[in-house]
Amino acid sequence: MKAARLYAPGDLRYEEVDIPEIGAGEVLIRVKAVGICGSDPARVMLKGTYSYPTTVGHEFSGEVVQLGQGVKSLKAGDRVTIVPLIPCGDCDYCAIGEYTLCDDYSYYGSREDGAMAEFIAVKERNVLKLPDEVDLESGACTDPVSVALHAMRKVDMRGGDTVAVLGVGPIGGFAVQWARILGARQIIAIDIVDDKLSVAREIGADLTCNSTRDDPVEFVLSHTAGAGVSRVIEMAGSRVTQEQSIRMAKKQGRIAFCGISYDDLVLPRKTLDQLMRKEATLVGSWNSSFAPLPLHEWHTSLHFLSKGQIQCFPLISHRLPLSDAPEIFRKIWTRDGTFNKVLFMP
């Protein structure tokens, strides 16, 4: 089969490898669509994976083609997606269903071979069937949809809240849609790319701000009678937007840092003073929950995808052959072009 394999940071190769063999409790999946996650460019171009070579990619959908011994919940021909995190099952956090906090987890696409390939071997427990109403491209977006839902739940989003989303790439775009579903009174989308802001308006944002032209804090304050918003979702991972997110929050507001940061954050004294005096709550949001209780965020995401209330197509900017992967990762890393959700079709 063909696969995109990382040999070192910046050294991604499209090459022929053996189709993976499956063991007991695993299934072989033919990959139909696989997306570039917001974390993938830095993984491929800068940070690297945990061993080499590694097939990258973890956001995907496909079709089950082979069952390992003992697999009972799936059959050949099932259309599926997968939860990429593999919890250890033994640590204190796994014992209470907080799998994203697992002390000894593995992960498809960084610690195990991933989905930028024609086939992938996956543990049965990580596989979710797609509802009939969910197409394969949308199925490949279930991960970012679930990550966005997790962030909304971390800020305890409620009907009537005012919301600002900083960074409206794919996950930010899904956060905008979740805010609408959960009953936000006003949704403000902030980014530096006009095309992404246009999409944000299409999928539910009431107001948009290009922060290269307007100060986003002043923009938010001017549209909230100086009060700020009650919920802030920071998706850009920039120290600039992280600091701004605190300043645009309302008194007793809640702020979630969800964007992956690659730089130190030093808060100006006045911003730190605001955080304390407003008694705002700053929370981290990492990955998504797939424990049965209190809410399986992946099942919830698939439900709203099946009802058409979460839309993926407006956020998909590219559909490409997998052979383009090395060049596309280079272009994304060097900002050579505008990209939103990129899907490869192996």
Q: How far is 263 from 153, CA to CA, in rounded Å?
A: 26
Unique residue bearing structure tokens 């007991």: 24
Domain 145-284 has CATH 3.40.50.720: yes
Segments in the chain below pLDDT 70: none
Instruction: Count CB neighbours of 318 within 10 A.
Output: 17
Domain-wise residue ranges, the chain: 2-141+312-344, 145-284
Return d(Cα 290, Cα 212) in angstroms, integer: 37
pLDDT at residue 76, rounded to an integer: 97
Comparing C-alpha atoms, which of 61, 64, 35 is closest to residue 174? 35
| Strands ordered across the beta sheet of 162-166 | 207-210, 186-191, 162-166, 229-234, 249-257, 281-284
* pTM of the full structure: 0.96
Give residues with Cβ within 8 angstroms of 240, minimum separation 6.
none
Q: What is the pLDDT of residue 9?
A: 97
Residue 108 has what DSSP assignment?
B
What pLDDT does residue 262 have? Answer: 87
CA 322 – CA 121 distance, rounded (Å)? 18
Give the CATH number of domain 2-141+312-344.
3.90.180.10
Pairing of strands 85-86, 106-107: antiparallel
CA distance 144 to 149: 9
180: which 2 tokens? Answer: 């609408």
pLDDT of residue 175: 98
What's the farthest any 2 CA atoms get from each other in the chain? 62
